[in-house]
Structure 1
Amino acid sequence: MIQLPSRPAVAAFARFVVCGGGVGLASSGALVLLDGAMPMVVANALITVVSTLLATELHGRVSFRSERGGWRVHLQSALTVAVCYAFTTAALLALHTVRADPSVVAEQAVYLAASALAGVGRFAVLRAVVFADARRAYRVPGLPRTSVAMAA
């Protein structure tokens, strides 16, 4: 039997989308502003670092309403972003392989689509690992209580 996510998980995802989407749209605009000033891969790396610091703080405080913080959380979050960076960069490089001089609209569409896909995976990892609230245990039907945490 498939179990649908709990309402707290849906609410956390909605907050994650608003916070992450806002940072993502700002990042997309910054990428356009930096186009030509530096190589695309360098611009994406710079934007990724700055947006990661901002998004991690927002996700911790707003999306997951967690009390966890500090450099450990930022480092764990950075690992998820490294995967997202590789994914978005690969998508942009693939676009430039297929189309030598893509339009800004095509480049942004690929960047935002890749960012959205990577974001869904990032939400799962941040919720289950980085911002997991160890004080809340959940119960798997048919099994005894477990100490695996789920964030609200």
Structure 2
Amino acid sequence: MEAARNQEQSAPGAFTAFARFVLCGGGVGVASSFAVAALASWIPWVLANALITAVSTLLATELHARFTFGAGGRATWRQHMQSAGSAAAAYAVTCVAMFVLQQLVAAPGAVVEQVVYLSASALAGVVRFAVLRLVVFARPRSRTATSARTTRPVPATVTGTPAPADAAALCRAA
């Protein structure tokens, strides 16, 4: 229990988290590409890609929860669903980019296709990192930080007795 609290308190900074995001996500992505190729030799490629995408998204979400963002434990089902949604949105961005390329260039070369795909993928990855960090694995704010910001000064109430002008007047009144 104490270890979980310590791990929660020591959240990595944005740069460290981004480096971990690239390492975890990139590692899972590379492994997935090999897994799809191997699985596609037994079942249709579309089915292999769908299965590996689902498994790799689950794996990456667990890695991001435990390592990238230091959430202090396993990812919740809500986090898995939000992560899957952000992965689907990133996939849509790369598909749209490739579709637009096909509409603009009749026969793009492999290099142009790779530049467009990798650029769209990088942009989607940066946005996905922000969504995961700020929404999916966001940490609740501490009570002291929140209450310090929301506490407003309370105006003093006056009772009807005027305040004495000096210390001598205060002594006479007593």
What's the TM-score once normalised by structure 1's chain length? 0.66
Q: Aligned residue for 2:59?
A: 54
Deviations 1:33-84 (A, max 9, x none): 86xx657xx8765554333222111111110011351322110111111211
Q: Which amino acid aligns with 1:14?
A: A
Unaligned runs of 5+ in 1: 1-6, 147-152
Distance 1:51 1:110, change over 3 A: farther
Residue aligning to 2:157:
none
1:87 to 72, 77, 93: 93
Question: 2:137 maps to what in 1?
Answer: 131
Question: Of the two, which has the highest radius of gyration?
Answer: 2
Q: Does 1:63 align with 2:63?
A: no
Structure 2, gaps ≥5 residues long: 1-11, 152-174
Matched, 1:110 2:116: yes
Distance 1:22 1:135 in 2: 31
RMSD, aligned CA: 3.6
Q: Which runs of 4+ in 1 moved over 6 A?
A: 30-34
- SS state at 2:101 partner: helix
- Relative to the length of structure 2, the TM-score reads 0.59
> Secondary structure of the equivalent of 2:97?
helix
Aligned residues: 134
User: CA contact under 8 A between 1:91 and 1:110: conserved in structure 2?
Assistant: yes
Shift of 1:24: 3.2
Matched, 1:13 2:14: no
